[in-house]
Amino acid sequence: MKITAITPHLIGNTWKDWLWVRVDTDEGIHGVGEGTVNVFARTVETAVRDLQDRVAGHDPFDIEALLLATQRDVYTDGGQVHGAAVAAIEMACWDIMGKALDKPVHKLLGGRLRDRVRAYANGWYTVERTPEAFAAAARKVVDLGFTALKFDPFGAAWMSESGFEEDHSISLVQAVREEVGEGPDLLIEAHARFGVAAALRIAERLAPLRPAWLEEPLSHHNIAAMNSFAQRSPVPVATGEGFSSLQQFAELLAGGAVGIVQPEPVHLGGVWRTRQVAAMAEAAHAVVAPHNAQGPICSAVSAQLGACVPNFYLQESFDVFNESWTRDLVHPAINVVDGHVEVPEGPGLGIEIDWERVESHASEQPHALELFAEGWEKRGQTS
Q: Give the active site residues.
A: 191, 291
Query: Is 82 domain-assigned?
Result: yes
Q: What is the CATH number of the domain that holds 81?
A: 3.30.390.10
Contact 323, 18 (CB under 8 A): no
Query: Is 371 domain-assigned?
Result: no
Q: What is the CATH number of the domain that holds 277?
A: 3.20.20.120
- Residue 175 and residue 98 share a domain: no
Query: Is 378 domain-assigned?
Result: no
In angstroms, the Cα distances linking 80 to 98, 118, 298 are 26, 27, 15
- Residue 207 and residue 115 share a domain: yes
pLDDT in tens, 110-123: 999 999 999 999 99
Domain boundary among 36, 69, 103: 103
| Predicted local distance difference test score (pLDDT) of residue 383 | 43
Expressed as residue numbers, the domain containing 338 is 106-349
Contact 319, 334 (CB under 8 A): yes
- Residue 63 and residue 112 share a domain: no
- Residue 97 and residue 29 share a domain: yes
- Residue 144 and residue 91 share a domain: no
| Predicted local distance difference test score (pLDDT) of residue 380 | 77
| Predicted local distance difference test score (pLDDT) of residue 335 | 84
| Predicted local distance difference test score (pLDDT) of residue 67 | 98
- Residue 309 and residue 237 share a domain: yes
Beta-carbon contacts of residue 301 (< 8 Å; ≥ 6 apart): 34, 91, 105, 265, 271, 292, 349
pLDDT in tens, 30-55: 999 999 999 999 999 999 999 999 99
Query: Is 188 domain-assigned?
Result: yes
pTM to 2 decimal places: 0.96
- Residue 278 and residue 167 share a domain: yes
Beta-carbon contacts of residue 305 (< 8 Å; ≥ 6 apart): 106, 109, 265, 271, 274, 275, 278, 288, 290, 312
178: number of Cβ within 10 Å? 13
- Residue 92 and residue 117 share a domain: no
Query: Is 295 domain-assigned?
Result: yes
Query: Is 302 domain-assigned?
Result: yes
- Residue 138 and residue 92 share a domain: no
- Residue 119 and residue 93 share a domain: no
| Number of domains composing the chain | 2
- Residue 117 and residue 87 share a domain: no
| Predicted local distance difference test score (pLDDT) of residue 249 | 98
Query: Is 380 domain-assigned?
Result: no
Query: Is 362 domain-assigned?
Result: no
- Residue 10 and residue 94 share a domain: yes
Positions in the chain short of pLDDT 50? 382-383
